[in-house]
């Protein structure tokens, strides 16, 4: 018995699954939302964090959130004289009349040529600097450097780091919002640095007491009522019974050096100013001799906070006032930040509900459409999308529906049986019918066109009644 070789297996004609497109938006949208949330957080923090160089920051006559009017009222309530000065030289001269505390809420506004004068304060005085920069610390020759800085001010106890606070005022105040900028001893400083609030406050008991605090929250109107902020602020400033409050509206002008009436060097805060420093005359330009904020100034804005004679002389030389849009000042800063967040939220909702563009999706048609009409009606759409696979599937599905209706086949008929019946009616082979009805995706437009013509020819042949000529038959 001779064994016959088995015929070679037919190549697999199973359709290859269409390549799924990468949905880039699934990767981009989460990162975009995270970036938007991070941006909103940073912008909101920048808007909420006060700027020490802005006009009115910790001013004793400003009543908004970043002002210091509540602190000034609390000091006056304790019998402390609040003397507001808008000029560096007059503030220094005001310390010559007796013990007092010089409060500098914005050291960055001081002119570099005048910062060094803060290191020569008389004995029995106190200097309080709020969040000074490294330039100010070096100019005053303080053995302190800036260490790490927090994202937001933190309320801590004076001995939060386990080291007892050596400053009685801070120890009595207890927990306060004083930890924003921390300080450390300068390299080469041999003594132990007296710190409180985990390095947020430094006390240097020199001839003139120097207190450096790294946060302005205890002095602000919107934060003074929290924790022990008011007790800390009034304790630091009211120890000598008089506060010289240096309230600068902007960067201080450079000092003007000239010659006084006695021939000695004179120093005026502005060119052409009449105030001299160390002129050697009888009164020496002491406060009380024509200077607002002298010994008779009570610090009341209605009495001693108006423009002085020196200010009137400088009005013609100073820069013009800033003209701001009144709309910006009509609403607080948090309102504009909230408005921006609502706008971004609305934009995200629009993007979420917007129509999404993607690959063609097979949908059932409301009416029966012949294969030839499908090709003619949607040819350009499929050609533009290069969707040969979906187009071939649509043509084959329409042809199978018509063939199943003509051959009385249920929808669950196996493909092999359908191919055999179609081959018997058309006169071809079963493999040819199976390839035609269940083959793979065409690789070119020419193959797709040939498939459409073959399906149309088979459908016309099988579906036409025996006694009725098919369309195009010439008999």
Cβ contact 107:262 at 8 Å: no
Mean per-residue pLDDT, 126-150: 93
Q: Which of 78-82, 186-190, 316-320, 428-432 is predicted with the least confidence, judged by mean pLDDT?
A: 316-320
- Looking at residue 243, its pLDDT comes to 96
Confidence tier at 290 by pLDDT (50, 70, 90): very low
Orientation of helix 445-463 relative to helix 388-407, angle to 10°: 10
**195 or 287: which leads in pLDDT:** 195
The single-letter DSSP state of residue 366 is: S
Structure confidence by residue, pLDDT tens digits, 310-340: 343 333 344 444 455 666 667 777 788 888 8
Average confidence score pLDDT of the chain: 78
Distance CA 462, CA 475 (A): 18
pLDDT of 116 > 50? The answer is yes
Pairing state between β 101-104 and 242-246: parallel
- Looking at residue 353, its pLDDT comes to 78
Confidence tier at 466 by pLDDT (50, 70, 90): low
Distance CA 290, CA 175 (A): 42
Confidence tier at 15 by pLDDT (50, 70, 90): low
Distance CA 59, CA 448 (A): 82
Distance CA 52, CA 48 (A): 13
Distance CA 155, CA 180 (A): 9
**146 DSSP β-pair partners:** 183
SS3 content of the chain, % helix, strand, coil (to 5): 40, 15, 45
3-state secondary structure of 212: strand
Q: What is the pTM of this model?
A: 0.54
**288 or 364: which leads in pLDDT:** 364
Distance CA 456, CA 374 (A): 11
At 82, give phi and psi (nearest 5°): -105, 115
At 290, give phi and psi (nearest 5°): 90, 0
Query: Which residue reads 């050697």 in tokens?
Result: 280
Distance CA 283, CA 292 (A): 15
Distance CA 393, CA 378 (A): 13
The single-letter DSSP state of residue 51 is: P
Residue 277: CB atoms within 10 A of its CB come to 19
Confidence tier at 366 by pLDDT (50, 70, 90): confident
The single-letter DSSP state of residue 473 is: -
**405 DSSP β-pair partners:** none
Q: Which of 13-22, 345-354, 392-401 is predicted with the least confidence, judged by mean pLDDT?
A: 13-22
Pairing state between β 176-185 and 144-156: antiparallel
Distance CA 412, CA 393 (A): 18
* 3-state DSSP of 393-442: HHHHHHHHHHHHHHHCCCCCCCHHHHHHHHHHHHCCCHHHHHHHHHCCCC
Distance CA 461, CA 468 (A): 11
- Looking at residue 147, its pLDDT comes to 92
Q: Per mean pLDDT, which of 54-58, 323-327, 373-377, 470-474 is the most reliable? A: 54-58
């Amino acid at each position: 018995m001779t064994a016959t070789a088995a015929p070679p297996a037919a190549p697999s004609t199973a359709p290859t699954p269409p390549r799924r497109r990468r949905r880039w938006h699934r990767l981009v949208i989460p990162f975009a939302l995270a970036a938007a949330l991070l941006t909103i957080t940073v912008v909101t923090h920048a808007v909420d964090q006060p700027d020490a160089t802005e006009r009115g920051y910790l001013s004793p006559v400003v009543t908004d959130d970043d002002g210091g009017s509540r602190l000034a009222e609390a000091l006056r309530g304790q019998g402390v004289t609040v003397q507001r000065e808008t000029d560096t030289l007059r503030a220094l001269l005001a310390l010559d009349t007796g013990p007092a505390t010089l409060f500098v809420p914005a050291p960055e506004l001081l002119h570099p040529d005048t910062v060094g004068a803060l290191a020569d304060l008389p004995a029995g005085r106190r200097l309080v600097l709020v969040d000074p920069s490294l330039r100010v610390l070096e100019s005053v020759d303080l053995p302190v450097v800036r260490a790490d800085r927090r994202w937001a001010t933190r309320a801590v106890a004076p001995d939060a780091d386990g080291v007892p606070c050596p400053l009685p005022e801070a120890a009595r105040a207890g927990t306060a919002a004083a930890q924003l900028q921390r300080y450390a001893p300068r390299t080469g400083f041999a003594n132990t640095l007296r710190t409180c609030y985990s390095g947020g406050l430094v006390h240097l008991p020199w001839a003139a007491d120097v207190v450096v605090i790294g946060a302005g929250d205890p002095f602000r109107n919107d934060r003074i009522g929290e924790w022990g902020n008011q007790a800390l602020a009034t304790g630091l400033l009211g120890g000598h019974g008089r506060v010289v409050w240096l309230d600068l509206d902007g960067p201080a002008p450079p000092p003007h050096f000239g010659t006084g009436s006695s021939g000695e060097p004179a120093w005026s805060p502005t060119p052409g100013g009449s105030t001299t420093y160390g002129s050697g005359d009888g009164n020496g330009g002491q406060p009380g001799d024509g200077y607002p904020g002298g010994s008779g100034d009570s610090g009341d804005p209605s009495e001693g906070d108006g423009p002085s004679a020196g200010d009137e002389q400088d009005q013609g030389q100073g820069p013009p006032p800033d003209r701001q849009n009144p709309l910006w000042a009509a609403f607080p800063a948090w309102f504009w930040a909230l408005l921006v967040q609502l706008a971004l939220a609305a934009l995200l909702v629009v993007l979420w509900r917007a129509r999404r563009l993607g690959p063609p999706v097979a949908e059932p048609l409301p009416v029966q459409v012949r294969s030839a009409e499908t090709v003619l009606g949607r040819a350009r759409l499929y050609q533009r999308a290069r969707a040969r696979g979906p187009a071939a599937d649509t043509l084959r599905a329409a042809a199978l529906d018509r063939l199943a209706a003509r051959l009385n086949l249920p929808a669950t008929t196996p493909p092999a049986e359908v191919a055999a019946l179609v081959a018997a009616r058309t006169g071809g082979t079963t493999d040819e019918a199976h390839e035609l009805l269940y083959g793979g995706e065409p690789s070119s437009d020419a193959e797709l066109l040939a498939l459409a013509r073959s399906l149309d020819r088979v459908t016309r042949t099988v579906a036409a009644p025996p006694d009725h000529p098919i369309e195009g038959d010439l008999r």
